[in-house]
């Protein structure tokens, strides 16, 4: 059965208050809609871990750097609700902009440090938009747990830090990236790739995996990084914005995985910006 769609905060609070009074735990999956298998895996994880599950759908204007990107962002609410039906979520919260940013809204949540690099460098203002809306969604849903994909690894680190710093009583759960059979990380943006672009984009993951394997054998990123970027360009990627080895928690740059680490990349294929990351175990 399709879950009820709630469009305002009063309706949401009425239902979450009942659940909390009944002692039921609440899981939230924040999304911007255009749901794919990656999002559904988050909803399934929430379903397995909580008594009640809310999926939020809000295309957050504050996190877009480009007005055209915002205007073109797919809005597929009814398809999204149909995709969620088999998972059995309890509510879909689709707030209007006034429910998130009422007239006179003047607060900005900004996490420093973690946001200075990678996505933060190439998408100025993006992470303030993310942390502000996610703080609102955490507080509005009063959820006990929130589920995010590791695909947006820097975002996952950021919302974890934000909840901790602001004493929001919520556990942030990071879930594995869901991939196409080709290894390409699932993303709503993949829909904008041609068939040829999809084939070429699938090279990203094996190139990253090769670097991770060489690091595990004692290689250094100083030696491995540039050839890997050249391979991405050969595969058809344009503008490799970053290809970094970083500490898995602080996101400080590393040359060797002396601590649990992450390889992270952003690059353009066919005019579509793709990101991916993989774990690199500590030596």
Q: Does 90 bind ligand PAF (CB under 6 A)?
A: no
Q: Would you count residue 162 as binding ligand PAF (CB under 6 A)? A: no
Residue 37 assigned as binding residue: yes
| Residues 43, 39: Cα–Cα separation, whole Å | 6
Q: Is 275 in the site for ligand PAF (CB under 6 A)?
A: no
Q: CB-wise, 188 or 256, nearer to ligand PAF?
A: 188
Cα distances from 221 to residues 37, 131, 178, 231, in angstroms, run 32, 31, 26, 15
Which residues have C-beta within 8 Å of that of residue 125, sequence separation ≥ 6? 62, 63, 65
Catalytic residue flag (residue 210)? no
- Residue 200, CA distances (Å) to 149, 192, 235, 240 in order: 23, 13, 6, 14
- Please tell me the distance from the alpha carbon of residue 211 to that of residue 219, in angstroms, as a whole number: 8
Number of residues that bind ligand PAF (CB under 6 A): 10
Walk across the sheet containing 5-6 and list its strands.
5-6, 91-93, 52-57, 26-31, 145-149, 171-175
Q: With binding defined as CB under 6 A, does residue 45 bind ligand PAF?
A: no
Catalytic residue among 19, 29, 39, 89: 39
Question: What CA–CA distance (Å, rounded) separates 131 from 89?
Answer: 24
Stretch that binds ligand PAF, among 6-14, 29-37, 220-228, 267-275 (CB under 6 A): 29-37
The answer to whether residue 160 forms part of the interface with ligand PAF (CB under 6 A) is no
Structure tokens at 168: 């929001």
Mark the segment that binds ligand PAF (CB under 6 A) among 16-24, 127-135, 166-174, 249-257.
Answer: 127-135
Cα dihedral 58, 59, 63, 69 in deg (nearest 10): 170
- Residue 1 is assigned to a ligand binding site: no
Binding-site member from 9, 12, 28, 32 for ligand PAF (CB under 6 A): 32
CB nearer to ligand PAF: give 30 or 174.
Answer: 30
Q: E strands, the chain, where? A: 5-6, 26-31, 52-57, 91-93, 145-149, 171-175, 238-247, 261-269, 272-280
Answer for which of 63, 132, 141, 160 binds ligand PAF (CB under 6 A) is 63
**What are residue 274's phi and psi, to 5 degrees?**
-115, 145
Q: Work out which of 134, 142, 193, 204 binds ligand PAF, going by CB under 6 A.
A: 134
Q: Is 178 annotated as a binding residue?
A: yes
Cβ at position 43, least distance to ligand PAF in Å = 13
| Torsions phi, psi for 231 (to 5 deg) | -65, -35
Q: Does 278 bind ligand PAF (CB under 6 A)?
A: no
Q: Residues 27, 30, 38, 95: which binds ligand PAF (CB under 6 A)?
A: 30
Binding site for ligand PAF (CB under 6 A): 30-32, 60, 63, 130, 133-134, 152, 155
Which residues participate in catalysis according to the annotation? Answer: 39
Binding-site members for beta-alanine are 63
């Amino acid at each position: 059965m399709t879950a009820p769609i709630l469009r305002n905060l009063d309706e949401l609070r009425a239902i979450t208050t009942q659940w909390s009074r009944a002692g039921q735990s609440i899981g939230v999956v924040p999304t911007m809609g255009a749901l794919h298998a990656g999002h559904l895996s988050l909803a399934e994880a929430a379903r397995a871990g909580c008594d009640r599950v809310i999926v939020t759908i809000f295309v957050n204007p504050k996190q877009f750097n480009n007005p055209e990107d915002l205007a073109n962002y797919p809005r597929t609410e009814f398809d999204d609700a149909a995709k969620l039906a088999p998972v059995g979520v309890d509510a879909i919260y689709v707030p209007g902009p006034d429910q998130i940013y009422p007239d006179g809204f003047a607060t900005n949540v900004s996490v420093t440090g973690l946001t200075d690099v990678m996505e933060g460098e190439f998408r100025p203002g993006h992470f303030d938009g993310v942390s502000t809306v996610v703080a609102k969604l955490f507080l509005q849903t009063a959820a006990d747990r929130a589920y995010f994909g590791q695909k947006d690894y820097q975002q996952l680190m950021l919302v974890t830090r934000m909840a901790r710093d602001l004493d929001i009583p919520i556990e942030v759960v990071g879930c594995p990236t869901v991939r196409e059979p080709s290894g390409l990380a699932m993303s709503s943006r993949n829909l904008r790739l041609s068939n040829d672009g999809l084939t070429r984009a699938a090279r990203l993951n094996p190139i990253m995996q090769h670097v991770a394997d060489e690091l595990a054998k004692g290689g250094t990123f100083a030696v491995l990084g540039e050839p890997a970027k050249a391979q991405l360009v050969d595969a058809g990627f344009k503008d490799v914005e970053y290809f970094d080895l970083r500490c898995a928690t602080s996101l400080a740059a590393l040359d060797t995985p002396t601590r649990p680490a992450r390889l992270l990349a952003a690059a353009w294929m066919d005019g579509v910006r793709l990101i991916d990351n993989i774990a690199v175990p500590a030596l």
